A and B are shown apart, each in its own frame.
Chain A
Amino acid sequence: MLNWSWVERGIGSFVMVAAGGSSNGRWRPFVTLAVTALAGLALAVALVVSSRSGCLTLPWCREKRRHPLTRKEWNNFFSRDGKLRGGGIKFLAKVRSGGVDPSVRAEVWPFLLGVYVQITAYDHLTVWCSYDMNSSRAERDAIREQRRKAYEKLRRQCHQSADGDDKRSSTDETESSDSQSSTGEPTMANPAAVDLATWQRIIRLDAIRADAEWIPYSPPQAAVREAEALRLASAVGFTDYGDMEPCRVYHAARLVAVLEAYALHDPEIGYCQGMSDLLSPILAVMEEDDEAFWCFVGFMKRARHNFRHDQAGIQRQLQVVSKLIKLHDADLYQHLEKLQAEDCAFAFRMVLVALRRELTFGQTLCLWEVMWADQAAVRAGYRGRRTRSAPPTDDLLLYVIAACVLQRRKAIMERFNSVAEIQKEFNNIAGQLDIWKLLDDAQGMVAALHDKIE
Chain B
Amino acid sequence: MASRRRMLLKVIILGDSGVGKTSLMNQYVNKKFSNQYKATIGADFLTKEVQIDDRLFTLQIWDTAGQERFQSLGVAFYRGADCCVLVYDVNVMKSFDNLNNWREEFLLQASPSDPENFPFIVLGNKIDIDGGNSRVVSEKKAKAWCASKGNIPYFETSAKEGLNVEAAFQCIAMNALKNEPEEDIYLPDTIDVAGGGRQLQRSSGCEC
Instruction: Tell me the A residues contacting B by CB distance below 8 Å.
Output: 185-189, 191, 198, 201-202, 205-206, 208-211, 242, 272-274, 276-277, 307-311, 314-315, 340, 343, 345, 348-349, 352-353, 357, 419-420, 423-424, 427
Which one of A205, A211, A311, A424 contacts B17 once the chains associate, using CB atoms below 8 Å? A205
In chain B, positions 87-132 with a C-beta closer than 8 Å to chain A are 92, 94, 98, 101, 104-105, 108
B1 CB–A CB distance under 8 Å: no
Q: Give the number of residue pairs across the A-B interface with Cβ within 8 Å.
A: 92
Bound together, the chains give a CA A186 to CA B104 distance in angstroms of 10
Most buried by B among A187, A272, A353: A187
Note all chain A residues with C-beta closer than 8 A to B36.
209, 211
**Would you call B38 and A211 a contact (CB within 8 A)?**
yes
Inter-chain CA distance A308–B66, complex, in Å, is 15
Q: Is the CB of A423 within 8 A of B44?
A: yes
Contact assessment for A188 and B76 in the assembled complex, using a CB-CB cutoff below 8 Å = no
Please tell me if the beta carbons of A242 and B35 are within 8 angstroms of each other in the complex: yes
B67 / chain A contacts, CB cutoff of 8 Å: 202, 272-273
B41 sits at the interface (CB 8 A): yes
Check B162 for interface membership: any CB of A closer than 8 A.
Answer: no
- B41 contacts A187, CB within 8 Å? no
Q: How far is the CA of A198 from the CA of B97 in the complex (A)?
A: 13
Q: Among B17, B35, B71, B79, point to the contact of A208 (Cβ < 8 A).
A: B35
| Residue-wise interface mask of B (43-55) relative to A, using a CB-CB cutoff of 8 A (1 in contact, 0 not) | 1110000000000
A205-B17, A345-B76, A345-B77 known; 14 new pairs, CB 8 Å cut-off, are: A185-B71, A188-B98, A189-B68, A198-B94, A202-B67, A209-B36, A209-B39, A211-B38, A272-B67, A273-B17, A273-B70, A311-B72, A340-B79, A423-B45
| A–B complex contacts, Cβ < 8 Å, 16 sampled | A186-B108, A189-B68, A202-B18, A208-B35, A209-B35, A209-B38, A211-B38, A273-B41, A273-B67, A308-B69, A311-B69, A311-B73, A340-B79, A420-B60, A423-B43, A424-B45
How many residues from B make CB contacts under 8 Å with A? 33
Evaluate contact between B39 and A343: CB separation under 8 angstroms: no
With CB as the reference atom, state the residue of chain A lying closest to B45.
A420
Interface: B205 (CB within 8 A): no
Chain B residues positioned under 8 Å from A309 (CB to CB): 69
**Which residues of A are found within 8 Å of B72, using beta-carbon distances?**
185, 310-311, 315
Point out the residues of chain B lying under 8 angstroms from A315, CB to CB: 72
Closest Cβ of chain B to A238, distance in Å, is 15
A179 to chain B, nearest CB (A): 15
Residues of A within 8 A of B45 (CB): 420, 423-424
In-complex Cβ contact of A209 among B37, B44, B73, B104 (8 A) = B37
With A208-B35, A209-B37, A273-B39 known as contacts, the answer to whether A427 contacts B69 (CB < 8 A) is no
CA distance A424 to B60 in the complex (A): 12
A343 to B43, CA, bound (A): 15
Query: Given the complex of chains A and B, what is the CA–CA distance between A357 and B43 in angstroms?
Result: 13
Quick check: A345 and B73 within 8 Å, CB to CB?
Answer: yes
Q: B: which residues have CB within 8 A of A?
A: 17-18, 35-45, 60, 65-73, 76-77, 79, 92, 94, 98, 101, 104-105, 108
Inter-chain contacts of B43 with A (CB < 8 A): 348, 423
Assembled-state Cα–Cα distance A211/B41 (Å): 14
Whether A201 contacts B42 by the Cβ 8 Å rule is: no
The answer to whether A187 and B76 touch across the interface, beta carbons within 8 angstroms, is no
A311 to B45, CA, bound (A): 22
A201 contacts B41, CB within 8 Å?
no
Q: Across the interface, which residues of B come within 8 angstroms of A188, CB to CB?
A: 68-69, 71, 98, 101, 105
Residues from chain B with a CB closer than 8 A to the CB of A198 are 94
Provide the bound-state CA to CA distance between A423 and B60, in Å. Answer: 13
Q: Evaluate contact between B39 and A205: CB separation under 8 angstroms.
A: yes
Q: How far is the CB of B63 from chain A (nearest CB, A)?
A: 10
Q: Which chain A positions have C-beta within 8 A of B92?
A: 201
Contact at A276–B39, with CB atoms within 8 Å?
Answer: yes
Determine whether the beta carbon of A357 is less than 8 Å from that of B69: no
- B17, B40, B70, B71: the one within 8 Å of A202 (CB): B17
Find chain B residues with CB under 8 A from A345 CB: 42, 73, 76-77
**Closest Cβ neighbor of B97 among chain A residues:** A189
CA distance in complex: A211, B35 (Å): 11
Closest-CB distance, A303 to chain B (whole angstroms): 13
A405 to chain B, nearest CB (A): 15
The answer to whether B41 touches A349, judged by C-beta atoms less than 8 angstroms apart, is yes
Contact yes or no, A353 B41, CB < 8 A: yes
Q: Please provide the 4 A-B residue pairs with the shortest distance between their CB atoms, ordered closest to farther.
A: A348-B42, A349-B42, A205-B18, A345-B76
Q: Is the beta-carbon distance between A185 and B35 smaller than 8 angstroms?
A: no
User: Shortest Cβ distance from A7 into chain B, in angstroms?
Assistant: 33
CB pair A273–B65 under 8 Å, yes or no, is yes
Inter-chain contacts of B104 with A (CB < 8 A): 187
Query: For A202, what are the chain B residues with a Cβ–Cβ distance below 8 Å?
Result: 17-18, 67
A348 and B18 form a contact (CB under 8 A): no
Q: How far is the CA of A340 from the CA of B105 in the complex (A)?
A: 21
Chain B residues with CB under 8 Å of A353's CB are: 41
Q: How far is the CB of B81 from chain A (nearest CB, A)?
A: 12
Q: Which of A273, A348, A357, A419 contacts B73 (CB 8 A)?
A: A348
Q: Which residues of A contact B44 (CB under 8 A)?
A: 423, 427
Shortest CB-to-CB span from B120 to chain A, Å, is 16
Measured in the bound complex, the distance between the Cα atoms of B70 and A308 in whole Å is: 9
How many Å from the CB of A268 to the closest CB on chain B? 11
Q: How far is the CA of A208 from the CA of B34 in the complex (A)?
A: 12
User: Which residues of A are found within 8 Å of B68, using beta-carbon distances?
Assistant: 185, 188-189
B69/A206 in contact, CB under 8 A: no
Nearest B residue to A207 by beta-carbon distance?
B39
Residue contact B41 to A277, C-beta cutoff 8 Å: yes
